[in-house]
Amino acid sequence: MSHLNDRDRENALNEVRLLASISHPAIVAYKQAFLDEPSRILCIVEEFADGGDLYQRIQAHRELKEYISEDELWNIFLGVAAGLQALHSRQILHRDLKSANVFLFRNGRVKLGDLNASKVAERGELQATQTGTPYYASPEVWKNHPYDDKSDMWSFGCVLFETATLRPPFRADDMEGLFRKVTRGVYPRIPACYSQQVADVIAWLLRVNPKERPGVSELLARLNLNVEAVLGPKGRTALLKRIKLPNDPKELHKLLPPARYSRPRPLN
């Protein structure tokens, strides 16, 4: 924390706040946060994703030259959609949705994580801060235009396309070339081994005009999907108060949310 600027310190504390605020089956669970005094490092303990992340899974399939199955793709879709629904219902924008921030579990669960760039927006408020990873950033972010939750939906489309093709939809040799491709919104077709419905969902999400993109609830309604029926109840999503960095860093531990561990089961 001692080497960060004020904005990065606020982002770190904001991530703790958001993680501790949301208890949801499609969001990586918060366990504990503490400041290591000797190093002044803020440590965030989270649920362990024993299946790695989606980026690693995609790279493994690229090495094997083998596409991810459509059943697995839809499972990934459901987990990401449920995670976005949990965030967007509380006016939280992820702002850095990419395959490396989609976490996988051996039991088949798929969860969103890494909320460092996330932002709580007032209802109806548009964001103007440029953030995210270039390959997944929406046209409005590239153009420095105001954006809302529809920017996350564009990134969702990029993640689904990458899951299907094992490559991002927009690639170029330099940033200027990438800007042109993203703002035009023209991308290759997905492999023929996937259904037309997969292609349709990607097409809905990768519309250059954010007003033409569906929100996550609208998208699920179009597909007649109910994530609660699959994942269970939404869980607790009440936002905790903003954590303000105290003048004396040693006082920070008093402001951090309490640890959240389940009790170990008795052996007998």
Q: Are 64 and 82 in contact (CB under 8 A)?
A: no
* Residue 124 predicted with pLDDT over 50: no
Amino acid letter, 8: D
* The one catalytic residue among 96, 114, 148, 149: 96
Residue 123 has pLDDT above 50, yes or no: no
Any catalytic annotation for residue 149? no
The answer to whether the beta carbons of residues 112 and 83 sit under 8 Å apart is yes
The pTM is what? 0.86
Query: At CA 93, angle to CA 9 and CA 3, rounded to 5?
Result: 15
Q: What does pLDDT average to over the chain?
A: 87
pLDDT tens digits, 201-224: 999 999 999 999 999 999 999 998
Beta strands in 113-265 (DSSP E): 119-120
91: left (phi over 0), alpha (psi -120 to 50) or beta: left
